[in-house]
Chains A and B, each alone.
Chain A
Amino acid sequence: MSDPPKGPRVILEDDQPQIAPRLDFGWDQAVVPVVPPNPPSRWSGFGRAAAGVVVLGLGLGALEAANFTAAQFTRGAVQGWLTLGVVVAGFGLIASAGWAELRGLLSIRAVDRARAAFARGDLEAARSEALRWAGGMAEAAPLQPALRQVGSIAELRALLEAGPLAGLETQANALGRAAAVQAFAVTAISPSPGLDALVFAWRGVRLVRQVAALHGLRPGLAGTVALLRRTVFDAAAVAATDIAVDAAARALLSNKLLEQFAGEAAAGALAARRMLRLARVAAEACRITPPR
């Protein structure tokens, strides 16, 4: 084998037209997402154990009930039918509660889907989520024709944020203020810090549910937990809202009457601030557009 030719060189292609088209690697097509990114969500050991307990409880309960109903029928038709009625009513209630829970969770998932679509810049998905959302909201329903016509994600987002979302935010803040005043009052007069905490927790949960309902969500128990989780742990959102909350708290508490309490009511002021913040962060968590 001989040595390869020494030295680099340029070989012009004379048979080619003078101006060659630019290279095209078909890159745009090559990078189109095939499946929407869907993270594998893992079941933790605890989750599996809990599911097992539920299956055992409900399953064995159902078998037991079936056996018992069959036995009652051997005793007599009346007892049989009565037992069946009781069993069906009982399990029906459980099932309907489960269904409500599921719907609550699904409605929160829908918020996630909408946000993901906005974050991805996927106009079509974001539009259809926005339309579905607007369909279920009295405030947003008139916006539907306009939503159908927008040409870009930014436009869609601006339309939602300027219209219904701004209104919702005001209402959520009003709910927050009401809860804040109550929390302040309760902590100011309550005899023990333990009771404060209890009242605060109860009022907080109610506030989050109120805000969710405002946004067209029907959070059940699981949904509320999911929302609370987001509300309490979304550090970034909390930091962003702190400034706004500061101003709101000052406006709310710079009241002659309340200032009388100032000394012993420091805890009350804190509780009020927390409520205001909770309302804002909960509203943030329920919005169908991602935080900026």
Chain B
Amino acid sequence: MASLTDPLGLLRDAAMGAEQLGRGLLGQERIRLAVTGLTRAGKTVFLTSLLANLLAAGQGRRTLPALEAAAGGRLRGVRLVPAGIESLPRFDVAAHLAALAADPPAWPGRTEDLSTLELTLEVERRSWLGGLLGSRSITLELLDYPGEWLLDLPMLSQDFAEWSAATLQRLRRGPRAEAARDFLAFVDALPAGTPDDEALARRGFILYRDALRHCRDRLGLRFLQPGRVLNPGPRGEAPILWFFPLPHPEGSGLAMLLARRHAAYVADQRDNFFEPYFRRFQRQAVLVDVLGALHAGQEAFEDTAEALAAIAAALRYGGSWLDRLTGAGVDRAAFVATKADHVPGRQRDALAALLGALVAAPQNRAEGAGAATAVHAIAAIRCTEDDVVTLEGRPVAAVRGVLLRDGRSARIYPGEVPLRPPEPGFWDHGFFEMPEFQPPRLDAQGVSGVPHLGLDSLLAWLIGDLL
């Protein structure tokens, strides 16, 4: 996105680079941590756990031992930056925690809007001489958003014709074609040069929207565009969304109308979502629900990989001489398999290995731009304990948890997690959806943070060098 053709953006980059340098010298760094992940990857829960555990660690609780160790025990305090004059809602950790701790517990609902929060880590300086300068403060900027919107990122570089061709091609593949049968029949019947009839446009949009919803909710697919059709945000559906891919995207009439809406939509997402929040970030955590994708079948698994690759290709990792000059670029990107508590301890390494195979393309992209990368398996909120069940006459490792839907205790055998993207035969057993678990007993004030698996090592790797 940064190029010589965008002098304003370049200027902004340079200004922000200079500001960051100045802040670094003063010992008041600001770091933007971009948490990217598709819908249901666990972003909201991850942010909630990260905030709760960091705040608890700031109060002296040993919730994040690996991070404490990385900081050399010099973490003096963690504070939420008080609200200023932001126009975005604040990420409501307290409410999420209270809902998780309540009886019966509730997970955060579907995220429908952007929300932000900033956190200041107060760290003592390393040396006695540095102590003369007082402690350092590192401000972490965090953002929560609907995961569906992330898929609009690859749309930024396509015009309506390109987008139509790519989208229709994807839609005609595999099980999507079945889900989108009505829509495909409808658009295939539209000849080139169809007049811009409002009723037609509405009809096409509704068919397209239903196809997308079907793909997301029943097939577990993620590479679905545009994101705001699936999750319109706080203002609801607006005419700007009423477009869909056309087989004959050129010319006047309906094609022109849809192309105008497409262009306006892309511009809107760029100005209000990507430019302010994803143009520049220093650290990135890419959250992936690996097991969910695996259990949803081959199509969903490959779709997840494709979606992650497309997003990474559209994100700015820096690395060009221009980026170096303006101080833009990502230093570290962690690829994180979430909900690692869905598999017993022995299988978590396999989960991380499988994730490594799944995100090979995004990882290459980040490394190519000079960012350090790592693969982690974590559970933001640990909801299970390891157990053993006997299946077909032999004991296998399983997990035990309390089911969210009826409060009954269940043991779950998650299958063998393959180390590599599995052979086609692997998927013969069909679609399986991991049940939702109740979170463990939590204290509602969140003074002690929340139980997690591996969150501390992840944070130590992501931000430990800053402390």
Contacts and interface: CB of A to CB of B under 8 A. Distances in A.
Interface stretch (A13-21, A176-184, A200-208, A259-267): A13-21
Contacts of A16: 408-409
A233 B410 contact: no
A235 B441 CA distance: 42
B62 A31 contact: yes
A18 B60 contact: no
B385 A23 contact: yes
A193 to B, nearest CB: 26
Contacts of B105: 22
Interface in A1-49: 2, 4-13, 16, 18-25, 27-28, 30-34, 36-37, 39-44, 47
A120 interface: yes
A113 interface: no
B467 interface: no
A27 to B, nearest CB: 4
A18 B403 CA distance: 11
A155 interface: no
A234 interface: yes
Contacts of B128: 41-44, 47
Contacts of B392: 5
A124 interface: no
A20 B407 contact: yes
Interface residues of B, number: 66
A7 B134 CA distance: 57
Contacts of A290: 77
B76 A119 contact: yes
B129 to A, nearest CB: 7
Contacts of B412: 8-11
Contacts of A23: 383-385, 401-402, 438, 440-441
B448 interface: yes
A103 interface: no
Contacts of B450: 27
Contacts of B429: 6-8
B295 interface: yes
Contacts of A234: 134
Nearest to B55: A121
B95 to A, nearest CB: 19
Contacts of B17: none
A10 B435 contact: yes
A122 interface: yes
A11 B389 contact: yes
Contacts of B26: 235
A236 interface: yes
A36 B60 CA distance: 8
B56 A28 contact: no
B248 to A, nearest CB: 44
Contacts of B430: 7
B362 to A, nearest CB: 26
Contacts of B407: 18-20
A216 B28 CA distance: 32
B162 to A, nearest CB: 39
Interface in B429-467: 429-430, 432, 434-435, 438-443, 447-451
A108 to B, nearest CB: 14
A43 B383 CA distance: 46
Given A11-B411, A44-B128, A32 B428 contact: no
Interface stretch (B168-176, B265-273, B413-421): B413-421
A113 to B, nearest CB: 13
Contacts of B402: 20-23
B59 interface: yes
Contact of B134 (A30, A32, A34, A236): A236
Contacts of A20: 402, 407-409
A148 interface: no
Nearest to B407: A19
Contact of B133 (A19, A41, A120, A233): A233
A6 B417 CA distance: 11
Given A33-B60, A33-B61, A6 B413 contact: no
B438 A11 contact: no
Contact of B451 (A9, A27, A44): A27
A229 interface: yes
A53 B441 CA distance: 59
Of the listed residues B28, B77, B127, B129, the one surrounded by the most CB atoms of chain A closer than 10 A to its CB is: B77
B261 interface: no
Given A33-B60, A122-B60, A13 B28 contact: no
B391 interface: yes
Contacts of B85: none
B448 A31 contact: yes
Given A10-B412, A233-B132, A39 B124 contact: yes
B408 A22 contact: no
A31 B61 contact: yes
B410 A120 contact: no
B389 A39 contact: no
B396 A121 contact: no
B43 interface: no
Contacts of A12: 408, 410
Interface string A138-178: 00000000000000000000000000000000000000000
Contacts of A31: 56, 61-63, 448-449
A12 B398 CA distance: 12
Nearest to A290: B77
Contacts of B384: 23
Interface string B366-379: 00000000000000
B73 interface: yes
Contacts of A39: 73-74, 124
**Interchain residue pairs A-B with the least CB separation, the first 5:** A7-B429, A20-B409, A8-B415, A23-B440, A31-B61
Given A9-B391, A11-B411, A23-B385, 6 more contacts: A9-B412, A12-B410, A22-B438, A23-B440, A27-B442, A31-B448
Interface of A: 2, 4-13, 16, 18-25, 27-28, 30-34, 36-37, 39-44, 47, 116, 119-122, 229-230, 233-236, 290
5 contacts: A7-B415, A10-B412, A23-B383, A27-B442, A34-B62
